[in-house]
A and B are shown apart, each in its own frame.
Chain A
Amino acid sequence: MSAFELSALILLGAFLAGLLGALTGLGGGMVIVPLLAVGFGVDIRYAIGASLISVIATSSGAAAAYVREGYSNIRLGMVLEIATTTGALVGAFVAGLVSTRLIAVVFAAVLLHSAYLSSRPRVEHVSHDLSDRWALWLRLHSTYPTAQGPEPYGVLRVPLGFGLMFIAGVLSGLLGIGSGAVKVLAMDHAMRLPFKVSTTTSNFMIGVTAAASAGVYLRRGYIDPGLSFSVMLGVLGGALVGARLLPVVHARWLRILFALVVVGLAIEMVYKAVSGRI
Chain B
Amino acid sequence: MKQWTDEQVEQAVGKLLRIGVLVAACVAAVGGVAYLLRHGSAPVAYHAFNGEPQSLRTVRGVVDSAFALNSLGVIQLGLLLLIATPIARVALSLIGFFRQKDGKYVVITAIVLAILAFSLAGGRL
Contacts and interface: CB of A to CB of B under 8 A. Distances in A.
Interface of A: 1-4, 6-7, 36, 40-43, 45-46, 53, 56-57, 59-61, 63-65, 67-68, 70, 72, 74-75, 78-79, 81-82, 85-86, 88-89, 92-93, 138, 207-208, 210-216, 218-230, 232-233, 236
Contacts of A219: 57-58, 120
A53 B77 CA distance: 12
Given A2-B43, A57-B24, A78 B109 contact: yes
Leading 10 A-B pairs by shortest Cβ distance: A215-B119, A221-B51, A4-B40, A225-B75, A215-B120, A67-B14, A221-B52, A207-B86, A229-B32, A64-B17
B48 to A, nearest CB: 7
Nearest to A11: B32
A63 B17 contact: yes
Contacts of B119: 85, 88-89, 92, 211-216
B115 A226 contact: no
Interface of B: 6-7, 9-11, 13-15, 17-18, 20-21, 24-25, 28-29, 31-32, 35-36, 39-44, 46-49, 51-53, 56-58, 72-73, 75-76, 78-80, 82-87, 89-90, 93, 104-105, 108-109, 111-112, 115-116, 118-121, 125
22 contacts: A2-B42, A3-B41, A7-B32, A56-B85, A61-B18, A64-B18, A68-B14, A78-B105, A78-B109, A85-B112, A138-B104, A207-B86, A208-B112, A208-B116, A210-B86, A215-B116, A215-B119, A216-B119, A218-B83, A224-B46, A224-B52, A229-B28
A3 B17 CA distance: 31
Q: Please report whether the interface of chain A is mostly helix, strand, loop or mixed according to DSSP.
A: helix
Q: Majority SS of interface residues in chain B? A: helix
A114 B51 CA distance: 30
A59 B13 CA distance: 13
Given A7-B36, A43-B47, A61-B18, A211 B86 contact: yes
A3 B35 contact: yes
B46 A227 contact: yes
A215 B20 CA distance: 17
B108 A60 contact: no
A218 B57 contact: yes
A81 B41 contact: no
A233 B39 CA distance: 19
B106 to A, nearest CB: 10
A2 B28 contact: no
A3 B85 contact: no
A218 B104 contact: no
A79 B39 CA distance: 45
A48 to B, nearest CB: 11
A51 to B, nearest CB: 12
A81 B29 contact: no
Contacts of B121: 215
Contacts of A63: 14, 17
A78 B35 contact: no
B24 A86 contact: no
Contacts of B35: 3, 225-226, 229
Contacts of B51: 220-222
Nearest to A72: B10
A174 B111 CA distance: 22
A68 B121 CA distance: 32
B90 A208 contact: yes
Nearest to B76: A225
B25 A81 contact: no
Given A211-B83, A212-B115, A219-B57, 18 more contacts: A41-B47, A60-B86, A67-B14, A68-B14, A78-B108, A81-B112, A82-B112, A82-B115, A85-B119, A207-B86, A208-B90, A212-B119, A214-B119, A215-B116, A216-B119, A229-B35, A230-B32, A233-B29
